[in-house]
Amino acid sequence: MAPGTVIVRALQAALLAGLLCAAPGSRAGGQASVLAAIDAYAPRMGEVADALWHNAEPGYLEQRSSALLQRELREAGFSIEPGVAGMPTAFVARAGNGHGPVIALLAEMDALPGMGQAAVPGHSPLHGQPGHACGHNLFGAGTVAAARAVARWLHDSGRPGEIRVYGTPAEEGGSGKVYMVRAGLFDDVDAVLHWHPADRNSAAQSGSMANVNGRFRFAGLASHASIAPERGRSALDGVEAMNHMANLMREHVPVDARIHYTISDGGGAPNVVPASAEVWYYVRHPDPDVVRGVFERVQNAAEGAAMGTGTRVAYTPLGGVYSLLPNDTLGRVLDSALRASGVAAPDADAVSFARSIQQTLAQPPALETLTAIADYGIDGVSHASTDVGDVSWTVPTAGLSTATWAPGTPAHSWQATAASGHALGHAGTRTAARAMALAAIELVGKPDVLKQAREELDRRRGEHFDYRPLLERDTPPLDYRATR
């Protein structure tokens, strides 16, 4: 398909519907102007995405990435509050005209350790280096593009309203957004929109998995493993006994629960009884209360294992997030915006890149998925987790996925890293920016829709909802990636 075909088709449809023939200050004129602003910024958006991709900074270490996103926003007239909620790389950027609705867009930016890969359609790892295997470089750049266009529209139209960008670090296991929610930074926000790189275009809303993760460090007594094993107490035995109990527990937890671990320190040498060993656990389930209960049992298993092996155990909580609470009212606004703005079709080079990537995937869906828009729905539950969850229980929130990766590509794969550093990723990012910007200006002008979205949130949370974060830390684990 020729570049831009789908956008052209969407614009033709809009013209036929009389949407874009209106005066600049009108709703349709506003839509045309924000889409034009995003398209004009698209080359720079690609540069920003690539800069983040090349810098690939893991959670809480996103200094250069955060600074670049802030710079792009400052240049577009945003005022920036950096270092919020005790996180040096978090920020809130604001633009607009006071006393109107506050629409917030989320911007993630962290990379994954060890996932470095060249932007080529074959496995070409950059050994030991972090990489954007979840496409958060695109996430940050696309959100900034949308926000700049909305800020310009607010400025030109004089409409009351505020557009905000929340620069949210350490999504991958660091729960950055939860600290921002706890600090009350979302309390005066009317709606939150976000997006995520994916292998398809969809504004369908779904739930997700709440989770808790943390490390259990066992302490024993070192001794010669052959000459004097009776004088030693193996910290690794503590880890193994705990894991055995957790594995038995799998039969006796709700069926949707997930328990996974890695032994992050198994001792040094087999001829030394390990004095120190560590295991890192995750527990997930769609219901935050189930996660709380199962994790408590895992903690009990750790205590039991320590007692039985003559070791001691110390628990360090790392992260905890709620499930996503979908919002149908906002989801439908995003879906309409996606259909109205159309899919920014990738160019021939990007399509050929996607085709080559697909040859490395087992049974990928049709390549045409790149430019299709999935049906809208709200009933599914994704097995992923995200710290957007806590935001979604606090403010009406909806998200979008766009095709930045070859159809069939899973997140956290080398194929995702490669596409996130390629024009293929840029095309999907442009689709996301266009849809989010249209949805944002739609919401600024529709206080009744914002009210409905808030009522839906209240209904879904239930009458007696009391937000108790799953996160058990007072301060963010700013070094959780530094030591990996």
Q: Is 69 in the site for Zn ion (CB under 5 A)?
A: no
Cβ-based nearer residue to Zn ion, 93 or 134? 134
113, 105, 147: which is closest to 130 by C-alpha? 113
- Taking the complex as a whole, how short is the minimal distance between the CB of residue 252 and Zn ion, in angstroms? 29
Cβ-based nearer residue to Zn ion, 173 or 326? 173
279, 297 Cβ separation under 8 angstroms: no
- Taking the complex as a whole, how short is the minimal distance between the CB of residue 235 and Zn ion, in angstroms? 31
Stretches 73-81, 127-135, 255-263, 336-344: which one binds Zn ion (CB under 5 A)? 127-135
Cβ-based nearer residue to Zn ion, 109 or 301? 109
Q: Is 419 in the site for Zn ion (CB under 5 A)?
A: no
- Taking the complex as a whole, how short is the minimal distance between the CB of residue 176 and Zn ion, in angstroms? 12
90, 84 Cβ separation under 8 angstroms: yes
Stretches 93-101, 131-139, 176-184, 333-341: which one binds Zn ion (CB under 5 A)? 131-139
When CB distances to Zn ion are compared, the closest residue is: 134
SS3 state at 100: coil
Cβ-based nearer residue to Zn ion, 50 or 108? 108
- Taking the complex as a whole, how short is the minimal distance between the CB of residue 115 and Zn ion, in angstroms? 10
Cβ-based nearer residue to Zn ion, 207 or 220? 207
Q: Is 416 in the site for Zn ion (CB under 5 A)?
A: no
Q: Is 395 in the site for Zn ion (CB under 5 A)?
A: no
Report the C-alpha gap between 447 and 410 in whole angstroms: 38
Query: Going by C-beta distance under 8 Å and a sequence separation of 6 or more, which residues neighbour residue 318?
Result: 173, 174, 175, 213, 214, 215, 280, 473, 477, 480
Window 432-461: residues binding Zn ion (CB under 5 A):
none
Q: Is 324 in the site for Zn ion (CB under 5 A)?
A: no
Cβ-based nearer residue to Zn ion, 51 or 411? 411
SS3 state at 83: coil
Report the C-alpha gap between 360 and 358 in whole angstroms: 5
Q: Is 61 in the site for Zn ion (CB under 5 A)?
A: no
Q: Is 388 in the site for Zn ion (CB under 5 A)?
A: no
SS3 state at 155: helix
398, 195 Cβ separation under 8 angstroms: no
117, 360 Cβ separation under 8 angstroms: no
| Distance separating the N- and C-terminal Cα atoms of the chain | 44
Report the C-alpha gap between 431 and 426 in whole angstroms: 9
- Taking the complex as a whole, how short is the minimal distance between the CB of residue 172 and Zn ion, in angstroms? 5
Stretches 126-134, 160-168, 301-309, 373-381: which one binds Zn ion (CB under 5 A)? 126-134
Q: Is 138 in the site for Zn ion (CB under 5 A)?
A: no
Q: Is the dihedral of CA 114, 119, 121, 122 positive or negative?
A: negative
Q: Is 106 in the site for Zn ion (CB under 5 A)?
A: no
Question: What count of residues does the chain have?
Answer: 484
SS3 state at 76: coil
Cβ-based nearer residue to Zn ion, 173 or 286? 173
402, 389, 406: which is closest to 120 by C-alpha? 406
- Cα angle vertex 278, ends 272, 281, to 5°? 150
Cβ-based nearer residue to Zn ion, 134 or 437? 134
- Taking the complex as a whole, how short is the minimal distance between the CB of residue 374 and Zn ion, in angstroms? 19
- Taking the complex as a whole, how short is the minimal distance between the CB of residue 417 and Zn ion, in angstroms? 11
Q: Is 134 in the site for Zn ion (CB under 5 A)?
A: yes
Cβ-based nearer residue to Zn ion, 137 or 234? 137
- The DSSP bridge partners found for residue 106 are 166
**For 38, phi and psi rounded to 5 degrees?**
-70, -45
How, if at all, do strands 397-403 and 191-198 pair? parallel
Cβ-based nearer residue to Zn ion, 309 or 386? 386
Query: Going by C-beta distance under 8 Å and a sequence separation of 6 or more, which residues neighbour residue 416?
Result: 132, 133, 134, 135, 197, 405, 409, 410
- Taking the complex as a whole, how short is the minimal distance between the CB of residue 135 and Zn ion, in angstroms? 7
Stretches 2-10, 129-137, 233-241, 348-356: which one binds Zn ion (CB under 5 A)? 129-137
Stretches 134-142, 186-194, 202-210, 300-308: which one binds Zn ion (CB under 5 A)? 134-142
Helical H segments across 268-396, by residue range: 288-309, 328-341, 348-358, 388-392
- Taking the complex as a whole, how short is the minimal distance between the CB of residue 139 and Zn ion, in angstroms? 7
Binding residues for Zn ion, total number by CB under 5 A: 1
Longest dimension (CA), the chain: 88
Please report, as ranges, the residues that interact with Zn ion according to CB under 5 A.
Answer: 134
